[in-house]
Amino acid sequence: MAIAEEMHIDRILILDFGSQYSHLIVRRCREIGVYAELMRCDTNIDDIRNFSAKGIILSGGPYSVYEEEAPHCVPAFWQYVDQTHMPLLGICYGLQEMTYALKGKVSASAKREYGHAELMMKELNAEERKLDNQANHSPAVNGVPTAPRDSEPDPNQVHDNPTAVSPNVHRLFQGLVHNPTRVWMSHGDKVTQLAPGFQAIAVTPSSEYACVAHLEKQMFGLQFHPEVTHTDEGTQLIRNFILKICGAVPSWNMKNFAHTEMERLRRQIGERHVLGALSGGVDSTVAAALLHKAIGHKFHGVLIDTGLLRMHEGPEVIQRLKQHIPGLQVDCIDATQEFFDALKGVTDPEKKRKIIGGLFIECFEKATKELHLPVEGGFLLQGTLYPDVIESISFKGPSATIKTHHNVGGLPAKMKLQVLEPLRELFKDEVRALGMELGIDRSSVWRHPFPGPGLAIRILGEITRERADILRQADDIFLDEIRKSGDYDKIGQAFVVLLPDVKSVGVMGDSRTYEMACCIRAVATSDFMTADWYHMPYDVLARCSSRIINEVTGINRVCYDISSKPPATIEWE
């Protein structure tokens, strides 16, 4: 919310009930040009009120509203919505939560509905259109009226195309092309009795309450998920809610963000110094460019060579950063031996992350002394993004942490440097757009991500210098081949995982081999919250396998990972 307040822009609040799609709602809002944030569904009313949203969306979730342990909004939330005339959109569980809280009825379906359905929009009569239009001019939060209907439809209009959307449907559906339109269902419960004042404004063959509305109070509920790409016109529906019903102004863009964030950083940092934890990846590169443009010589970038970087990574990163960010101060610190010594005998992934995170900070603080920069009161730049924040605040119930995040794992409690995270409210695609806005070369902006722990989380088991060298060679061959084939730019992230404890028999020439296996991993994704395995052309896979087995001593078998996220994660550890 801090950046939205600084930019003085409209915002949408999403209350999260644990849906795997919650982050997609945030992304759709931002793609439309309106800033949005995610909060837990049980957020206290003061925090909700202070967010000053133009509208609120209730996400889906894996629970049943009538169960004892089901998550709910705080009781004061419904009074707040009623008093402020706050436009409200409930999606799936969000619809059921709204119905349950407002004295409707939700019951278990005879069978779970999962997949596509045909949504048929109903036409409003003259009285319903009048109610809708009156509600649209009622005072909203901060006294700003919501947007009026674009034009009053002609009730006698005849439609030549029976599948076209009538102008007499609710404003929530304006701009949609087809009626019926294809939507995506994913639910085990359904509304069986509407709350008082609500009516159905769209149906499917299996749901008479697929979309419901309280016309006077501007409250809406959808049984389907408009945020997923499987719903053909879902983004337009969300756009209608945000722009037409909430009356939000689309002013969220990276040009405005860059200007506002640089001003904020100058005020926060003052005369102090910032030490940048640079890796050459898009996040740290964009963060470095932003800081350099904001505070100039007070920012100093440092690349720690842990011995776990990719092939030729250290010198190449330094050269690229200096070339693409003219005037940037950046140095490379060789800490290879320290990291291999610290990781000797360690096999547990979480221990690896903690050790690496702690040693990183020690190296940075040591670097400040070598570079004669003041440690006390200084800042450490981190490339934390909004998906990292979502994973820590999302409503997940009793589920355990999957794994410590790359950027924050292992930071010691008594750190002398204060962490600075200027990108923490951005998604990956927004970071890339910001990089282009700052004038960074496209090759750096669209470079695949590389995790903070480096190759350490791509070597399963104990990490040794020899294993790191073997993996480095295999990884370099893989990236070289997908660049030559043109697949690199179609892939969100690609790398090789070494499986030291998985050995297999092979034949090279006339000799028997008994060596390690490795696994190629490539995923297609736009936000890294979800990802699908990349359908690599067979000829590219064949070349990668042949080259790795023939050129890398120690590997005699290559596999390809076809796991999606979820249920798998992108990285193996």
Binding residues: 279-285
Catalytic residue among 37, 97, 113, 227: 227
CA distances from 336 to 362, 449, 469 (A): 13, 21, 12
Catalytic residue flag (residue 92): yes
Rounded Cα gap, residues 135 and 90, in angstroms: 18
> Do residues 116 and 183 make contact, with C-beta atoms less than 8 angstroms apart?
yes
CA nearest neighbour of 307 among 350, 268, 344: 344
Q: State how far the Cα of 45 lies from the Cα of 47, in Å rounded to an integer.
A: 5
| Residue 227 tokens, joined | 């945020």
For residue 145 the two structure tokens come to 């009226």
Catalytic residue among 23, 170, 214, 225: 225
Q: Residue 130: which residues within 8 A CB-CB, separation 6 or more? A: none
Q: How many CA atoms lie within 13 A of 251 on its CB side?
A: 14
Q: Is residue 551 annotated as part of the catalytic site, yes or no?
A: no
Helices (H), 438-487: 442-445, 465-485
Residue type at 397 in one-letter notation: G
Clarify whether 225 is annotated catalytic.
yes
52: alpha, beta or left, given left = phi > 0 and alpha = psi -120 to 50? Answer: left
Question: Cα–Cα–Cα angle for 526, 570, 339, nearest 5°?
Answer: 120
Q: List, as residue ranges, the binding site for ATP.
A: 279-285
Q: φ and ψ at 275, to 5 degrees? A: -100, 125
Q: What is the DSSP string of 259-289?
A: HHHHHHHHHHHTT--EEEE--SSHHHHHHHH
Q: Give the active site residue among 29, 41, 73, 92.
A: 92
Query: Over 302-319, what HEC string results?
Result: EEEECCCCCCCHHHHHHH
Whole-number Å distance between alpha carbons of 110 and 107? 9
- In order of 76, 367, 443, 446, 560, the CA distances from 276 in angstroms are 43, 11, 21, 20, 35
The bridge status of strand 88-91 relative to strand 55-58 is: parallel
Phi, psi of 193 (to 5 degrees): -150, 125
> Which residues are part of the catalytic machinery?
92, 225, 227
